[in-house]
Structure 1
């Protein structure tokens, strides 16, 4: 497991590199305290296409193996419809692929261990390019730790 930082894009050898990438990136300016890989509940696949809502701060995944749709974290509660009817935006890698491994990074508030910030890290399965397709602040709590189980 090693991240290659040479060239235009950071690349990882495996899905485990996503957590290291998020730790280095510190989206939102907060450290990543824990990261959890995403798996399909139906078939256990770890490869997905990812869609973002109109606001770009909610995400859902579509399993590349079985086609199951699942919202990531609390995205279903806040999903924003687009005004022009074009539908959600599917993310794509600079190489053109839309197949990614996905890991969610969590930053906790100091002192109470409630979740402060979440980050959706991805790794393209075609060329290994790493990225963070979305991140957002968690404003509710206490009780935000249930999100750890919704990756």
Structure 2
């Protein structure tokens, strides 16, 4: 795991670098306390195309290996109102490693979710979507990645 912070955008050498990036990205307001690397439940691959609507709090990933689409976090609740747009790296790359970040409340319930991505073309790291979770229980969201 190596993150280069010397350029305009941080870059990572592997998917696990998303965890450190999300920790730094979220440090001020709602720090990530748990990060889970996203893998396809169907085939186990770890590269995806991603579509997001940050205003509605909605994200969808499509496995580049088997083509299975999955909504992330509680996106099923907002998909009908969402206008999903393709995530793209500044380099133009549209294939990513992905990780789910979670900020927790004192009682262990999820307060905020983060979708961190690493471009497989040039390694640029970013948080492509994040939103507040204002209900409970929330434990099911750890599995909806």
TM-score of the superposed pair, with normalisation by structure 2: 0.94
Higher helix residue share? 1
**1:4 deviation in Å?**
0.5
Deviations 1:30-62 (A, max 9, x none): 111000011111111110000013835210001
Task: Tell me if structure 2 keeps the 8 A contact 1:55–1:80.
Answer: no
Look up the match of 2:95. 99
From 111, 118, 130, give the equivalent of 1:116: 111
- Return the alpha-carbon distance in structure 2 between the equivalents of residues 44 and 10 of structure 1: 26
Aligned length: 145
Q: 1:20 to 1:54 in 2, by over 3 A?
A: closer
- Return the alpha-carbon distance in structure 2 between the equivalents of residues 64 and 27 of structure 1: 31
Task: Tell me if structure 1 keeps the 8 A contact 2:49–2:96.
Answer: yes
**1:81 deviation in Å?**
3.6
RMSD: 1.6
Q: 1:102 to 1:132 in 2, by over 3 A?
A: same
Deviation beyond 6 Å, 4+ runs, structure 1: none
Determine helix, strand or coil for the equivalent of 2:46: coil
- Return the alpha-carbon distance in structure 2 between the equivalents of residues 133 and 28 of structure 1: 17
From 136, 141, 145, give the equivalent of 1:147: 141
Gaps of 5+ in 2: none
Task: Tell me if structure 2 keeps the 8 A contact 1:28–1:135.
Answer: no
**1:80 deviation in Å?**
4.3
**1:27 deviation in Å?**
6.8
TM-score of the superposed pair, with normalisation by structure 1: 0.90
- Return the alpha-carbon distance in structure 2 between the equivalents of residues 2 and 46 of structure 1: 18
Gaps of 5+ in 1: none
- Return the alpha-carbon distance in structure 2 between the equivalents of residues 56 and 129 of structure 1: 25
Task: Tell me if structure 2 keeps the 8 A contact 1:43–1:66.
Answer: yes
**1:67 deviation in Å?**
0.8
Look up the match of 1:133. 128
